[in-house]
Every structure is written in C-alpha cells, then in structure tokens.
A and B are shown apart, each in its own frame.
Chain A
Amino acid sequence: ETGVTQTPRHLVMGMTNKKSLKCEQHLGHNAMYWYKQSAKKPLELMFVYNFKEQTENNSVPSRFSPECPNSSHLFLHLHTLQPEDSALYLCASSQGSGIDYEQYFGPGTRLTVT
C-alpha cells in the first residue's frame, strides 16, 4: 500500500448504528486530519492530530469521535448520526505538524445515513 488509504470506501448506516472509519498513511508523516466534504460546500476540517495528540476540534458534534493510536493510523467513530451527516469523509496526512503544510489525501469514505 502506498499513500493514504481509507476503509471502507462506502458505508450505509442507520441513525442508531455505531460504525468506524479507518485511515492509514504509509508516508511517514507526523500529522493526520479528518475532513467532511458535502456536495456544493467547501471542505470542512474536523480534527487535527499531531504526533498522536489532538490539536484541533473544529466544533464537531460529539457523535463524531476521533482516535489516533499512532502517527500512522486514524479512526473516526460514528454513533447516532443524522441524515445531514451524509457526506464524503476524507483523511489526510502531512509531513509537518500543523495545517501549514501540504496535505496528502486518501480517497475518502462515502457515508450515507438513512
């Protein structure tokens, strides 16, 4: 595997389900990010992790819970989501610690909440 990988690529879940999104970066980077991309809306930065420590949480509802066990892996745990949470969830990584650096994105997980 190379670059940034995300699984699953597609996910359909009910509002009462609990699921997790997984991201893995194979680039030796120090920072990882979660983004939400909705149709016709700008990318929204959700969480930032530098060296496994969360450094940003951009007012994201608690039904989204990130986890970063090491600098190569990032999870997004989902529970009791709403239909408006349906979107493409993108993971990214960067060499430097922070948003100043160019980011490498995974292909995303297309999430549908029914």
Chain B
Amino acid sequence: LAKTTQPISMDSYEGQEVNITCSHNNIATNDYITWYQQFPSQGPRFIIQGYKTKVTNEVASLFIPADRKSSTLSLPRVSLSDTAVYYCLVGPMNTGFQKLVFGTGTRLLVSP
C-alpha cells in the first residue's frame, strides 16, 4: 500500500473552508484515495473517495491533480462539529477485501 503523509494538526474557525492535503508519491495506477473521519470516542467513518480530478458529496470535496501524487480534502464552512481526526488512505481497487493502513491522521480543531 502506498505510504501517505499529512499534517499532524490544523486549526480553523467556524465558517471557514478547511483544506487538508495528503501526499502519496508512490501511488499506483490502480490505487484509489479514500478519506476517513474520526470523532472523539467513535470509530472512523468513510467520508469520500476518488481516483482523479474532483469528487464532491454532501460532506466534502476531494481534489486530485493529474499526477495523483497528492490529494486535498476540502471541508466547506466548517462548524464545531467538524472537529475530528481525518485519515488519508491509498489502496487498490478491484481487490474486494483489503487491509487498510491508518497513519496518525490530521487532527482538526475548529474554534468559535
């Protein structure tokens, strides 16, 4: 599985847009990029996944440049409830079962 690097922590204020960038220089051709979110005292939950260009859902957007060596998770107009740890993972598609490797993630703190 490709190794990922992301900032340890980020601070923001309510109403701002937050962008968390993840580096994955060794991403393989058949790898997808997936982000999980973990609130305090809860298990992680899937928030978004993409292969290239831009993906948007009701929670976030994911921007992936053409070389796919990095990706940016964008959270529009964050609120206090977006305070969480965000994990970037890279793993292959077309495999069915796979083992995930969670790094330490990015700890986002949103203040009033």
> Do A and B come together as binding partners?
no
